[in-house]
Amino acid sequence: MGDRCSTQAVHAGEERRKPYGALTTPIVQSSTYTFEDTAEIVEFVRRKEAGGRPPRDEYGRYSNPTQSAVEGKIAALEGGEQALLFSSGMAAITTTMFALLSGGDHVVMVSGVYRRTADFSHLFLPRWGIETTFVPIDDLEALAAAIRPTTRLVFTETPTNPYLRVMDLARLVEIARKRGVLTAIDSTFATPVNLRPLEYGLDLVLHSATKYLGGHNDLLAGAVVGSRQLLARIEEARGVLGAVSSPHDAYLLLRGMKTLDLRVHRQNENGLRVARFLEGHPAIQRVYYPGLPSHPDYEIARRQMSGFGGVVSFEIEGDMEKTGRFVDRLRLPYIGPTLGGVESIAQQQALFVSLDPTRRQASGIADNLVRYALGIEDADDLIADLSQALEEIR
């Protein structure tokens, strides 16, 4: 099998000859897997206790054949030894932290990570005596200074949401390795099409597979990719905590990933064209897109990424009310809180934070910011729609 992303997206992780001669991997809708006799159980337990992954499926909270095919495909796309599938991106993040951290440990986390990841660090980790220090993504000296003898993990996100900041991964790994600290990255916005963090030496890559990997806004799933040794600890925690994906969601994800390369390349093209259009429009105050020279991390993104992604964030010349009127006048995108699907979705992100101005200000998200997650529609149609909406509010 070829090692290019487009080929792996179609074939990796799946058996060539599938049950019943089916072309697609079946949905194995079972919670329990039976044994022929006692001798088969004894052999199963013997091999399981000898180390490594179980030789076959036993119970749906531990593994499922459809799930295993998805894990194989994601591992191949990221260039990792193994992947684990979860019920959501947040389940992947929280289970990973529970597995790797203990009371008294310390985490260094980049400011600007997904707000629910930050919430978990603020609200839940302290209950187990785990501290978190947040550092700016562009201040690696501050990151190095924040590492303590008790630091066990550096967690970053690239690009971040919604300002699309990009971490210098080579320098991050250099700093963390000198101190013997594990590194993990939420690479949801990048996808393995645009960035493969394991190639830079990061230990773990996490995804909200709900987004680009699934690509059709019809499932919830998350994934962690890394070495078998490291993932063994996370897999054990998953089996105890139970944050597993359903066989049906695993099937939808398997189907969605077959077009990942095609979709992301189209979204990259749409993102760059829309960002360039918006940057030249008089009704736009500022555009945030790592493919533009005006972005603070443009040089890092150009060196590190093969594409700049399908999300463009921008600020309208005006206040919250005017920004809302602009979003309402858009005809092509839906209004909603997600991204990564074939349909374009726009949102005035501050409204999803809070209606309280003080809380919005504390979040760092401007009232006039629009996050536009581009789908696979024709770029000319998307730009024409943006143009008419902007003209209406001028």
Active site residue 249: no
Catalytic residue among 18, 56, 61, 322: 61
Catalytic residue among 211, 238, 263, 360: 211
Residue 254: name the closest of 6, 52, 12 by CA. Answer: 12
Catalytic residue among 105, 168, 186, 203: 186
Active site residue 334: no
Catalytic residue among 114, 163, 200, 212: 114
Rounded CA-CA distance 296/306 in Å is: 18
Structure tokens at 254: 């398997």
Residue 376: name the closest of 320, 310, 322 by CA. Answer: 310
Question: CA of 253: how far to CAs of 36, 83, 388, in Å?
Answer: 31, 14, 36
Active site residue 59: no
Structure tokens at 178: 């000198």
Please spell the DSSP secondary structure of 278-347, one letter per residue. HHT-TTEEEEE-TTSTTSTTHHHHHHH-SS--SEEEEEESS-HHHHHHHHHH-SSSEE-S---SSS-EEE
Contacts of 249 (CB under 8 A, 6+ apart): 87, 219, 220, 221
Peptide bond into 197 cis (omega under 30): no
Question: CA of 89: how far to CAs of 18, 94, 286, in Å?
Answer: 29, 9, 30
- Tokens 């008419």 sit on residue: 388
Question: CA of 140: how far to CAs of 171, 258, 300, in Å?
Answer: 8, 37, 13
Active site residue 211: yes
> What's the gap between Cα 165 and its chain centre?
14
Peptide bond into 162 cis (omega under 30): yes
Q: Which helix (H) or strand (E) holds 228?
A: helix 228-241
Name the residues annotated as catalytic: 61, 114, 186, 211
